[in-house]
Amino acid sequence: MEIPRHWRLRKQRYSLVGEVCPHCQVRIFPPRDVCPSCGKEARELYTFSGRGEVYSYTTIYEAPSGFEQQVPYTVALIRLEEGPMVTAQLTDVSPEEVQIGMPVEMVTRKLRTDGDERGLILYGYKFRPRLQQA
């Protein structure tokens, strides 16, 4: 049971809320309160657009505990359009469709259950191929 940690991370997990540095405007994710670029304090919240592209990826066939029912699935490094890189599961895509450079967008999905079926359902960001609009 890690309920306090899940609860603390909910904003960044549900909606990609990070920070923006007031000194050099660098966008920061995950939030860490110190700018990785200029080293000054950065606590201003910033909600990312959720758009990015696949930088690298790997398909998981032997999943860690809590994710067994989802195999096969793809985990990717996503380069967000604002700059930062995030690691996330891809969804709504089969592993053979994934390509480096593929445009993706953030969606909020079920990540796993905390413990068994009696536990909390944990939600958070994943990325999917950008929806085609007519």
Partner 1 sequence: MTLPEPAASTLLKPIQSVGIVGYGAYVPRYRIPAKEIARVWSGKTAALPIKEKAVPGLDEDVVTMSIEAARNALRRAGIDPSELRAVWVGSESHPYAVKPTSTLVAEAIGAVPNTQAADWEFACKAGTEALVAAMGLVGSGMGRYAMAIGMDTAQGRPGDALEYTAGAGGAAYIIGPAEESLAIIQASYSYVTDTPDFWRRPEARYPEHGMRFTGEPAYFKHITEAARRLMEATGTTAKDYRWAVFHQPNTKFPQRVAAQLGFSMEQIEPGLLVPVIGNTYAGAALIGLTAVLDIARPGDRILVVSFGSGAGSDAFDILVTEALLERRDRAPKTRDYIARRIEIDYATYVRYRGKLQMK
Where do contacts with partner 1 occur on this chain (CB under 8 A)?
10-11, 14-15, 47, 69-70, 91-92, 107-111, 121, 123, 126, 131-134
Choose the stretch contacting Zn ion; rule: CB under 5 A; options: 3-11, 21-29, 94-102, 116-124.
Answer: 21-29
Tracing tokens 């050099």 back to the chain, one arrives at 24
Could you tell which of Zn ion, partner 1, none binds residue 23, using a CB distance below 5 to 8 A set by kind?
A: Zn ion
Q: Which of residues 31-70 bind Zn ion (CB under 5 A)?
A: 35, 37-38
Q: Which residue type, as a one-letter code, is found at position 62?
A: E
> How many CB atoms sit inside 10 A of residue 19's CB?
22
Supply the minimum distance, in Å, between the C-beta of residue 110 and partner 1.
4
Burial of 28 (0-12, 13-18, 19+ CB in 10 A): buried
Could you tell which of partner 1, Zn ion, none binds residue 65, using a CB distance below 5 to 8 A set by kind?
A: none
Tracing tokens 């860490």 back to the chain, one arrives at 32
Supply the minimum distance, in Å, between the C-beta of residue 63 and partner 1.
12
Q: Would you call the peptide bond into 30 cis, given omega within 30 degrees of 0 as the criterion?
A: yes
